[in-house]
Amino acid sequence: AQSVTQLGSHVSVSEGALVLLRCNYSSSVPPYLFWYVQYPNQGLQLLLKYTTGATLVKGINGFEAEFKKSETSFHLTKPSAHMSDAAEYFCAVSEGPGGSYIPTFGRGTSLIVHP
Amino acid sequence: NAGVTQTPKFRVLKTGQSMTLLCAQDMNHEYMYWYRQDPGMGLRLIHYSVGEGTTAKGEVPDGYNVSRSTTEDFPLRLLSAAPSQTSVYFCASSYSTAAGAQHFGDGTRLSIL
């Protein structure tokens, strides 16, 4: 069965600092990986996804993530945090043929950005 | 293009009452999902559907019913509301592939007194 672990329920950074949100997964078949962002009182929005091909994936708002199969990781990064990046971030995994198409979500990481 | 629309946005119920949370999507997505979101628990899958006429249980299905009579609609019914069902409920939809990203509604905030 697939699973997702997001390390750190809260991450605090200063404006302009590097953002690093960690996500590790387990999957019995090649995974499809997603990062979503949730702003207050809103639903989740897709930031980026990895399906196949290039392991470094670029998303919206300057975020990117790298799929590392050997480390079973899909960490989310942004070189310079902005106040508007404060939100809840969710990592999710689904599996291709032979596995479960239904995504499994991590518990989320709240990003706090200090001025 | 409205995407995924949830109604109502807020509701307060008394213990034992029943209600239906509505979800509609206009993207012709085959897959639809209901989640509940509680502090520190992330998103937990209640029920999902892989196409019209199908439903399946997720992680926390007890106390909830769903049906999928059309591609567009996927209502969630609380049979007899309990305080433990106080939560924010999200509906989502996606194409029928594992690579398809989910599209979420804005949620229904439900309080059970």
pLDDT in tens, A11-55: 999 999 999 999 999 987 888 999 999 999 899 999 999 998 889
For residue A94, list chain B residues with Cβ-Cβ distance below 8 A.
Answer: 98-99
With tokens 């207050």, the residue in question is: A40
B4/A43 CB distance under 8 A:
yes
Give A49-85 pLDDT, tens digit per residue.
999 888 999 999 999 999 999 999 999 999 999 999 9
Q: What is the DSSP string of A16-45?
A: TS-EEEEEEEE-SS-EEEEEEEE-TTS-EE
Residue B2: CB partners within 8 Å, gap ≥ 6?
Answer: B26
Partner-chain residue, chosen from A95, A106, A107, that has the shortest CB–CB distance to B98: A95
Residues 5-64 (B) with a CB less than 8 A from some CB of A: 31, 33, 40-43, 45, 48, 50, 58
- B98, pLDDT greater than 80: no
Report chain B's mean pLDDT, rounded to a whole number.
94
B90 touches chain A (CB under 8 A): yes
Kindly state the percentage of chain B with pLDDT values over 70: 99
Asked if residue B38 lies in contact with residue B30, where contact means CB atoms within 8 angstroms, the answer is no
Residue of A51, A96, A108 with shortest CB distance to B42: A108
